[in-house]
Amino acid sequence: MKKLIAGNWKMNASLAGNEALVQGLLAGVGTPACDVAVCVPSPYLAQLQTLLAGQQAIALGAQNVSAHESGAYTGDVSAAMLKEFGVRYAIVGHSERRQHQAESDTLVAIKAERALQAGITPIVCVGETLQQREAGLTDTIVKQQLSAVIHLVGHCISEIVVAYEPVWAIGTGKTATPEEAQHVHSVLRAQLQAATEHADRIRILYGGSMNAANAAQLLAQPDIDGGLIGGASLKAADFLAIVAAAQ
Ligand code: 13P
């Protein structure tokens, strides 16, 4: 299966900075053997749509989507709006939103469904905190998080992307070992297999301090089908090195 390397810029962007970063990415990306995407803050979607026009190598992604279709939801951005700006992927349920915006498993599932309805691929994030890992709850937590999405979207589950992001590995420089990550990915794969006969084509990305130095080993694991990259997606050379490691 084609791997997917997606950058999550988080709340790091500016008009000038985006232009320089995208120019660097386009100059070096060539014709990648994997899918590549950048998930940018909403105000820059129009700029990115223009910067990425006329090429196929890099797709556009959003970092969130409203659980509502339209109406009186001040500050929300709907899936239909994202679609108008050429968005292909939308991250849903990132741990930073689960933590700071109190997003529940159910809300995340609704967001995934909204994205799918608009023809956008949701990148559904799951992952345990350090406390949960130390309590031996990793498998239980990630399965619970994914289960809400499986139940809501039904047979459309084969259209999603999953991202396993251990919370303790995000932005900390601590990466899950390839074996630790592979274990959780295999648990998620088994859960997907129980839900759909197409589980083998669902991409399960790893995220959490993935960088140019550790990407190849992580991506060599049988159930790691790509990466969701935070810090290392903000420098063209670092992100391109991860894209290269995925081929
Ligand atoms: P870092 O790569 O900065 O650890 O962030 C990972 C992440 O949260 C991607 O969504």
Query: Is the Cβ atom of 174 under 6 angstroms away from ligand 1?
Result: no
Residue whose CA lies nearest to ligand 1 atom number 2: 230
Tell me what pLDDT residue 111 has. 98
Asked if residues 12 and 224 have their Cβ atoms less than 8 Å apart, the reply is no
Residue whose CA lies nearest to ligand 1 atom number 1: 230
Q: How far apart are CA 232 and CA 212, in angstroms?
A: 8
> pLDDT digit string (tens) for 2-25?
999 999 999 999 999 999 999 999
Atom number of ligand 1 nearest to Cα 169: 4
Task: Note the Cα 5 to chain centre separation in Å.
Answer: 9
208 dihedral zone (left: phi>0; alpha: psi -120 to 50; beta): left
Q: How far apart are CA 39 and CA 7, in angstroms?
A: 6
Q: How far apart are CA 177 and CA 172, in angstroms?
A: 14
**Mean pLDDT score, 112-121:** 98
Query: Is the Cβ atom of 122 under 6 angstroms away from ligand 1?
Result: no
Query: Is the Cβ atom of 238 under 6 angstroms away from ligand 1?
Result: no
Tell me what pLDDT residue 68 has. 98
Query: Is the Cβ atom of 231 under 6 angstroms away from ligand 1?
Result: yes
CA of 245 relative to ligand 1 center, distance in Å: 17
> pLDDT digit string (tens) for 227-243?
999 999 999 999 999 99
Tell me what pLDDT residue 117 has. 98
List the catalytic residue out of 94, 113, 128, 159. 94
Tell me what pLDDT residue 110 has. 98
* SS (HEC) of the chain: CCCEEEEECCCCCCHHHHHHHHHHHHHHHCCCCCEEEEEECHHHHHHHHHHCCCCCCEEEEECCCCCCCCCCCCCCCCHHHHHHCCEEEEEECCHHHHHHCCCCHHHHHHHHHHHHHCCCEEEEEECCCHHHHHCCCHHHHHHHHHHHHHHHHHHHHHHCEEEECCHHHCCCCCCCCHHHHHHHHHHHHHHHHHHCCCHHHCCEEEECCCCCCCHHHHHCCCCCCEEEECHHHCCHHHHHHHHHHCC
Query: Is the Cβ atom of 211 under 6 angstroms away from ligand 1?
Result: no
Confidence of residue 204 (pLDDT cuts 50, 70, 90): very high
Q: How far apart are CA 184 and CA 49, in angstroms?
A: 35
Is 155 one of the annotated active-site residues of the chain?
no
Atom number of ligand 1 nearest to Cα 39: 10
CA of 212 relative to ligand 1 center, distance in Å: 13
Q: Strand 4-8 and strand 87-92: pairing?
A: unpaired
Query: Is the Cβ atom of 43 under 6 angstroms away from ligand 1?
Result: no
> pLDDT digit string (tens) for 36-78?
999 999 999 999 999 999 999 999 999 999 999 999 999 999 9
Q: How far apart are CA 132 and CA 43, in angstroms?
A: 35
List the catalytic residue out of 69, 165, 180, 185. 165
Tell me what pLDDT residue 73 has. 98
Atom number of ligand 1 nearest to Cα 94: 10
How far is residue 28 from each of residues 54, 215, 237, 243, measured CA to CA in Å?
16, 18, 8, 10
> pLDDT digit string (tens) for 155-195?
999 999 999 999 999 999 999 999 999 999 999 999 999 99
Is 128 one of the annotated active-site residues of the chain?
no
